[in-house]
């Protein structure tokens, strides 16, 4: 049953389940909107977690690979109700979006050639460019607080856009720079951290000495063993089977799950490069379609991985057939994307609590966040080239890797929709869902008009 606490009422498990489901259904707007929703419900309304405890959990979730909003939900669920609370919170954060995306991906794969559906995605693609621009500005305002971070962002952009430096190497390099700068005492890399306790319901229980927040090597090793088995068993099975694209899906998204620092926007260019150029699962414009679908569903934007897995399984299903293969590909992509998130939190959270105030880790995070700005800029330009131009050639000049659009292939309607979406979101403060819906409607009308 619920227990009274100094800052609020410690929830019963059943009450927490209902609230986590509510958060999962309301988790639109990308990580910023999702974190704001959790803050409003958990800190302001329910007062289950105090402000500084919430920010403490968020700061360290941002250090981890994977979707920080889902990991934050898992972390707070763990704080409130131990391991089972973390499992329930993290799962319910993803489940509504997973079900919605499954239906939308099926509609996309099976009915893409229908003029109504084709027009919808024709209009959504330019609008997604506005979403990426807004994300770039939002992340930039938060991350680029000095010349040091501007140089890191610029280096990341030049490296990935002009030299095709792999995204994991960019993240690793930025993290090392931040760690070394913080250890050297560079003031720009030393954020100030406040105290933990401030009166939330969980704070009272935790401050009274809750056992599960104390580091315990045996317990952590057990969690690691169970999570690794759950993570890799289906991947190994798919590789041993050797049919269709499923082994490659498991390996690719498993690798991705350990390098996805900075959220979905930062890693999308890497996903697009691998899924389009290396594996041939998608065509270039389809990554924008997947991002547009992920933007309009609840849950983490990294559910775009589910879209990629669905199409990969649909197009290379082995003996299963298209639709069973598509569902298996989607489930496998989601499984290996999110099981590691539970591993990071449930095994590492007690140690994360003990790392409060670690300056080197904070410096590494600041540098990685700055590099993400450059990566997102690369993402925006890559998407813009493939949305606005019908033909884009890839040219190599020594180490340089250049994407050169054919000016004659410019799509004026796509350009007009992108400009209108940017104005709507940045100047008129129109909501993301409304902007995507409006552009999708214009796209449908435009396609039907020209196909009539």
pLDDT, tens digit, for every residue of 284-305? Answer: 778 878 877 887 778 888 899 9
Does the predicted model carry a pTM greater than 0.75? no
pLDDT higher than threshold 50 for residue 231: yes
- pLDDT tens column, 321-333: 899 999 999 999 9
Residue range 107-166, pLDDT digits in tens: 888 876 667 777 887 888 788 788 778 878 877 887 788 899 999 999 999 998 898 887
**Comparing C-alpha atoms, which of 257, 268, 212, 211 is closest to residue 230?**
257
Q: Is the pLDDT of residue 452 over 60?
A: no
Is residue 193 pLDDT above 90, yes or no? no
| Pairwise pLDDT comparison (26 vs 82), residue with the higher score | 82
Q: What tokens were used for 353? A: 């609590």
Q: Residues near 3 by Cβ (< 8 Å), separated by ≥ 6?
A: 9, 10, 201, 205
Confidence of residue 378 (pLDDT cuts 50, 70, 90): confident
pLDDT for 90 equals: 96
> Picking from 276-285, 344-353, 358-367, which range would have the lowest pLDDT averaged per residue?
358-367
Confidence of residue 201 (pLDDT cuts 50, 70, 90): low
Q: Please give the share of the chain, as a percent, with pLDDT higher than 70.
A: 86
Q: How far apart are CA 260 and CA 266, in angstroms?
A: 8
270 vs 95, higher pLDDT: 95
State the pLDDT confidence band at 262, using cuts at 50, 70 and 90.
Answer: low
Instruction: Print burial letters for 150-183: b (CB count within 10 Å at least 16), e (below 16).
Output: bebbbbbbebbbeeebebbebbebbbebbbebbe
Taking residues 354-370, what's their average pLDDT?
A: 75
Task: Output the pLDDT for position 369.
Answer: 76
What's the pLDDT at 247?
A: 94
Q: CA-CA distance, 258 to 65, in Å (whole number)?
A: 5
Q: Average model confidence (pLDDT) for the chain?
A: 84
- How many residues are there in the chain? 452
Residue 196 scores a pLDDT above 50: no
Cα(91)–Cα(86) distance, integer angstroms? 8
- Is pLDDT above 80 for 19? yes
Dump pLDDT digits (tens) for 380-439: 787 788 789 988 888 888 889 888 999 999 999 999 999 999 999 899 988 877 888 899
pLDDT at 139: 73
- Res 361: pLDDT: 75
47: left (phi over 0), alpha (psi -120 to 50) or beta: left
pLDDT in the model for residue 70: 94
For 113, residues 6+ apart whose C-beta sits below 8 A from its C-beta are: none
Q: How confident is the model at residue 195 (pLDDT cuts 50, 70, 90)?
A: very low
Residue 215 scores a pLDDT above 90: no
The three-point CA angle 244-248-250 to 5° equals 110
């Amino acid at each position: 049953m619920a227990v009274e606490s100094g800052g609020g009422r410690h929830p019963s498990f059943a009450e927490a389940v209902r609230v986590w489901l509510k958060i999962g259904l309301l988790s639109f707007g990308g990580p910023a909107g999702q974190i704001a929703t959790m803050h409003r419900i958990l800190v302001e309304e329910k007062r289950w977690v105090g402000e500084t405890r919430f920010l403490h959990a968020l700061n360290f979730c941002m250090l981890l690979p994977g979707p920080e909003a889902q990991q934050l939900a898992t972390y707070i669920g763990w704080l409130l109700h131990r391991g089972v609370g973390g499992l329930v919170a993290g799962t319910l954060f993803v489940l509504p979006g997973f079900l919605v995306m499954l239906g939308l991906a099926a509609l996309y794969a099976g009915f893409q050639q229908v003029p109504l559906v084709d027009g919808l995605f024709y209009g959504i693609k330019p609008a997604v460019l506005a979403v990426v621009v807004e994300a770039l500005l939002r992340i930039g305002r938060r991350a680029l607080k000095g010349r040091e971070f501007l140089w890191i962002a610029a280096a990341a952009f030049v490296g990935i856009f002009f030299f095709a430096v792999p995204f994991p190497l960019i993240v690793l390099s930025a993290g090392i720079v931040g760690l070394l700068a913080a250890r050297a005492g560079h003031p720009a890399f030393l954020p100030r951290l406040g105290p933990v306790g401030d009166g939330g319901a969980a704070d009272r229980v935790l401050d009274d000495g809750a056992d599960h927040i104390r580091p315990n090597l045996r317990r952590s090793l057990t969690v690691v063993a169970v999570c690794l088995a759950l993570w890799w068993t289906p991947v190994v099975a798919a590789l041993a089977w050797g049919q269709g694209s499923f082994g490659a899906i498991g390996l690719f998204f498993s690798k991705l799950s350990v390098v996805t620092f900075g959220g979905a926007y930062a890693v999308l260019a890497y996903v697009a490069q691998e899924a389009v150029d290396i594996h041939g699962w998608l065509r270039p414009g389809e990554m924008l379609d997947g991002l547009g679908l992920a933007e309009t569903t609840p849950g983490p934007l990294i559910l775009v991985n589910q879209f990629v897995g669905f199409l990969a399984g649909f197009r290379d299903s082995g003996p299963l057939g298209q639709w069973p293969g598509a569902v298996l590909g989607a489930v496998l992509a989601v499984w290996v994307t999110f099981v590691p998130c539970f591993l990071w939190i449930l095994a590492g959270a007690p140690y994360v609590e003990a790392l409060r105030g670690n300056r080197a880790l904070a410096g590494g995070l600041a540098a990685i966040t700055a590099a993400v700005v450059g990566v997102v800029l690369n993402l925006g330009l890559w998407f813009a080239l493939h949305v606005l131009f019908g033909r884009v050639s890839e040219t190599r000049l020594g180490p340089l890797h250049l994407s050169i659009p054919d000016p004659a292939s410019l799509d004026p309607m796509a350009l007009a929709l992108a400009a209108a979406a940017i104005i709507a979101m940045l100047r008129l403060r129109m909501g993301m869902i409304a902007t995507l819906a409006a552009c999708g409607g214009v796209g449908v009308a435009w396609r039907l008009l020209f196909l009539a």
